[in-house]
A and B are shown apart, each in its own frame.
Chain A
C-alpha cells in the first residue's frame, strides 16, 4: 500500500490542534510547522483558522513568510481555512498576504462575531451536504470570471466558500470545527498525487 503523505500544519496561532486531530483520525502523519526547517519533506500544508494578522506577523518573525511563499509557488499543496485562506489570497494593506491564489479575500466580510453562522451547504466533491461553520468569516471575490484552473467547489448564495486553484484549496468555513473529515480527506488525496 502507498504510504500516506506527511502533512504539515502551520502552528503559529489558531485552530492547528483541531487540524492535527482531523489528520490523526484519517491516519495521516502530520507535524507542526513553526520554523523554516520544519517544512522539509512535507507533501502538503494546512494553514488553520485563527487571526490572519497574527499568523502573517509571526510568520515574518519566525522567518517562515518567504519559505511558505516559495513552497506554494513551487506547487506544494496548501489548504487554507478562513484565516489560512486570507493568507493564501490577495488583498491590499494589513495583514501582508502570501498572495498565491488569484482571488481577493475580504476580511470580516459578514461582520463581527454576532454575524457568525452555521449552515448546511452542498459542496461539489461530495454527495451529501456539509455542515459549514463561519466564524467572522471572509468572502472570496473572484476577480475575473474564467481564470484558468480556478474552480469554485461550493457556494453560499452568491459567495464562493470553497475554491480550488491549482495546488491551493481555500475555504471560508471551518471543517476543523466539525467531526466530518471529508474536506480534509479530499485535500490529503490531492496532496498524494
Chain B
C-alpha cells in the first residue's frame, strides 16, 4: 500500500527556496494570536510563526505541545499580509498536510513541539509549500535538506533567552562547511559517512562552500545584539520566539531586533539600536536545565 502523499518533487524547488531567500535579512516572529501578529507586522516582521504557546511557556507549563488550533491560525492569516508560518510536530506529516490545506506559507517541523515520531522526519519533498527544519550540526542540516527542507535554522535552545546554544550550532555548521571545502574529492565519501549526510549534498557543499538552502538562526535570540551576533556568524535571517512577547515592550523589542538584522555589521548603528532597547525577557542558564529539558535533543 502506498502512502497517499502527493509528490511534487523535485518541482516547486525554486519557489520553495525562493520564498526562503525573500525572508533573508529579516526577522520571523513567534505569535500566538491575531493581536500579537498585528504588532509583529507593524514592527516590520518579515513573517510570523503561528503557534499555540511560545517556547518559554511550553518549557514552563509542560504537557504535549502540538500544532496551533486551526481557528487561531486562520485568525492570524486574516490579520496580516506578510507570510504566515506554523509549526508541526517532528514526523507528524498529517499536521503538516493540514497546514498545507490551510494554505500556510511555510511549515516549521519543529523540535519546540513534542515529537510525534522518534525515528523519522516528515518527507518534505511531498509538499508543495516549503518546510524549515532545525539543525545543530552540518550532518543534521544535510539530512533535513535531503528530506526536502527548503530552509535550515539553528536549533539553539528555544525559550531560554540564552544565545549560547544558537552560537554553538552556527559556529559548528559554518566550521564543518569550511572544513569540507578543504577536502580532496576522494575524501568526500568518507566525510559523508562521518557526517551521516547524503553524499551528493556533501559534494555540493564542498564545491560551493555553503548550504544549498538559506541558513537562519533560532533558539535563544532575546536582544538586538543577539540577532546581530548571529548575522555576523553567518545567519541570513533570525527567528525570534519568546524573545519578543516575553519582553517588557514587545513592539520596541521587535523593531530593535529588525534594525539589528539590517545594521549588524555597523557598530555605530548598533549602539543607537541598543540605546533604545531596555527590557529583554528574563533568561535561563542552560547549565541549570536537566538534560531531558533540552529541546535541541529532539530530532535525529
Contacts and interface: CB of A to CB of B under 8 A. Distances in A.
Are A and B co-members of a single complex?
yes
B81 A61 contact: no
B24 A50 contact: yes
Interface residues of B, number: 37
A177 B14 contact: yes
A14 B25 contact: yes
B129 A17 contact: no
Interface string B91-109: 0000000001001111000
B24 A15 contact: yes
B298 interface: no
B25 A50 contact: yes
Given A54-B258, A135-B18, A113 B25 contact: no
Nearest to A177: B18
Contact of A113 (B45, B130, B263, B269): B130
Given A14-B25, A49-B22, A117-B15, A111 B44 contact: no
> In this complex, which of B23, B44, B82 has the most chain A Cβ atoms within 10 angstroms of its Cβ?
B44
A16 B25 contact: yes
Contact of B15 (A15, A51, A54, A135): A135
B26 A14 contact: yes
Interface in B1-60: 12, 14-15, 18-19, 21-26, 41-42, 44-47
Interface in B250-272: 255, 258-259, 261-263, 266, 269
A17 B24 contact: yes
A76 interface: no
Interface string A128-141: 00000111100000
Contacts, number: 111
Contact of B262 (A62, A83, A94, A177): A62
Given A34-B263, A57-B44, A62-B262, A50 B106 contact: no
Nearest to B43: A57
A118 B25 contact: no
Interface residues of A, number: 37
A177 B128 contact: no
Interface string A145-173: 00000000000000000000000000000
B22 A50 contact: yes
Contacts of A16: 24-25
B81 A108 contact: yes
A53 interface: yes
Nearest to B236: A17
A116 interface: yes
Contacts of A83: 22
B22 A51 contact: yes
Contacts of B81: 53, 94, 107-108
B83 interface: yes
A13 B82 contact: no
A163 to B, nearest CB: 20
A112 B105 CA distance: 6
B271 to A, nearest CB: 14
Contacts of B12: 118
A113 B25 CA distance: 19
A123 interface: no
Given A61-B255, A114-B103, A114-B128, A54 B44 contact: yes
Given A14-B22, A50-B24, 5 more contacts: A14-B24, A18-B21, A51-B47, A61-B259, A114-B100
Which 9 residue pairs spanning A and B have beta carbons closest together?
A113-B105, A116-B15, A57-B44, A13-B25, A135-B18, A54-B44, A13-B26, A112-B103, A114-B103
Interface of A: 11-18, 34-35, 49-51, 53-54, 57-58, 61-62, 82-83, 94, 107-108, 111-114, 116-118, 133-136, 174, 177
